[in-house]
Structure 1
Amino acid sequence: MEVKSAYRVLKIFELLSKNKSGLTIADISKKLDIPQSSTSNLIRTLYSSGYVARDEAKKYVLGVRLIQLGSVAMESFDIGAVAKPILQKLTQKVQETAFLAIRAQYEVVYILKIDSNRSANTTAQPGYHRPLYNTGLGKAFLSAMTREEQEKIFSNIELKPVTKHTITDKNVLIRQLEQFKRQGYAIDDEESEYGLYCIGTTISTVDKNIEAAISISGSKTRIISNKEAIIEDMFDAANEISRKLGGK
């Protein structure tokens, strides 16, 4: 029975990975030919453990816990392996902390963190997840989306204030994202952590999809004083990663 349950869990993961908009318990049961009662029990366990997530329509998608478990593997595979030496060079050049992240539905998940000799007032670490709407990495992902895609995200999240600088008005945020789209980079101005200023941009892969984002984070005073040079160096790093992945 345990072997059968483990096999069913793996099939559920595979099925959800191919259906990013989510599936109901009935959908999963039908597609995998598993009794609905058994499917419900498995999904309940996976949901309570964070391995699957559920939206307001009661559709299930892969959960952040899977991303956290895979963060170590990601570091030595594909984007992580390609990005690490490039981000190390970027960090040495700008003397600020660099991050690589991927998107997991309504959040960003940090894959790499490259520290500099200067301290960055951030609690973020590989495997940690943060909202899309108040981080430089998250807003880079949002700015690359269509308006329809953005609205779908906003309909499923609450714009909660994390600091007094967090933008909680959807219309204000959308206007900001339009500006970020034009300029090619996004900014978190103490919206996720006090004293932290973050600049992020996206990375495309061989299929031209936006698969990851990188950012530079540090003291607001330091980043702003060297902002233009940091942005230029960050763009160079993002383009190099994209080229190595067969992207832009």
Structure 2
Amino acid sequence: MSVKSAVRVMEILELLSEHSEGLTVKEISDSLSFPQSSTFNLVQTLCTRNYLIQSGTKKYKLGPKLIHIGSNAMEGLDVQSEGEVHLRKLMEDVQETVFMAVLSEDELVYVSKLEYNRSIRTGAKIGSRKPLYCTGLGKAFLAFMPEENRDSLLDELKLNKITENTITSKAVLIEQLTIYSNQGYAVDDEENEEGLYCIAAPVFNANQEVAAAISIAGPKFRMLPNKDTIVQKLLSVSEEISQTLGYIKT
């Protein structure tokens, strides 16, 4: 059961988060359809606790107390632990191996691996590192990071051939990354391990940054016939994990 005043406080804070220039009491009450008198009382209470501040133009803005609270909340959000329950459900749904990785300098590091009993064996283990350019997870990072960061990484990377399908041309890789960015997910088509087909998607944090990437991997003969369903489930889970990290899609 929700408490009306508490709900109104949250709605005021959420509204002001979208108006960095601030809003007057009347603008807040009009926007939220609250009575102006109760809006004034709530705003004044928030000001006394430094959750809001008032500018010289009588507009109210988010206050310094929220910076401390927000920082602590960010520190408490561990992408691996927040994503674990979602990844397990995803693994059971698709009945293939599911991974999560984070970026470490110019490589990815696996932080989660949930292996379904029928899945293909892979060389990837928790804590192991892999190149970005030839893995689905790595290409998810490259496709969705800021372009200047991606270009800086690619300038330093040497694209060694690992399998017959490994892309060794940076121009071709960049074209591929553009496609992945537009479609929302990346693919590793036996580029790092023969027989392994991988579909990966980014996980974003509250700063709109790629905090991690998750993937579904399995034998190509099983993955391709079910690709549309796998992609749909993967993107749904990546969005759920992103939301737990405070990501708001713009």
TM surpasses 0.5: yes
SS at match of 1:226: helix
The residue number in structure 2 matching 1:126 is 126
Number of residue pairs the alignment of both structures matches: 173
Letter in 2 for 1:186: A
Change (3 A) 1:89 1:211: same
* Whole-angstrom CA distance in 2 between matches of 1:207 and 1:145: 12
Aligned 1:195-206 pairs, distance under 5 A: 195-206=195-206
Q: TM-score, normalised by structure 1?
A: 0.68
Q: Any unmatched runs of 5+ in structure 2?
A: 1-75
The residue number in structure 2 matching 1:217 is 217
* Whole-angstrom CA distance in 2 between matches of 1:167 and 1:208: 28
Seq. identity, %:
43
Letter in 1 for 2:114: I
Q: Any unmatched runs of 5+ in structure 1?
A: 1-75
The residue number in structure 1 matching 2:97 is 97
Instruction: Could you list the structure 1 runs, at least 4 aligned residues long, displaced by more than 3 angstroms after superposition.
Output: none
The residue number in structure 2 matching 1:143 is 143
SS at match of 1:194: coil
Mapped contact 2:97–2:113 kept (Cα < 8 A): yes
* Whole-angstrom CA distance in 1 between matches of 2:77 and 2:194: 33
Q: How much has 1:208 moved relative to structure 2?
A: 1.6
Q: How much has 1:77 moved relative to structure 2?
A: 6.9
Larger radius of gyration: 2
Aligned 1:2-41 pairs, distance under 5 A: none
Q: How much has 1:200 moved relative to structure 2?
A: 0.3
Q: TM-score, normalised by structure 2?
A: 0.67
Letter in 2 for 1:133: Y
Q: Deviations over 1:175-194 (max 9, x none)?
A: 00000000000000000000
Mapped contact 1:102–1:213 kept (Cα < 8 A): yes
* Whole-angstrom CA distance in 2 between matches of 1:167 and 1:187: 12
Q: How much has 1:209 moved relative to structure 2?
A: 1.2
The residue number in structure 2 matching 1:246 is 246
Q: How much has 1:155 moved relative to structure 2?
A: 1.4
Mapped contact 1:143–1:180 kept (Cα < 8 A): yes
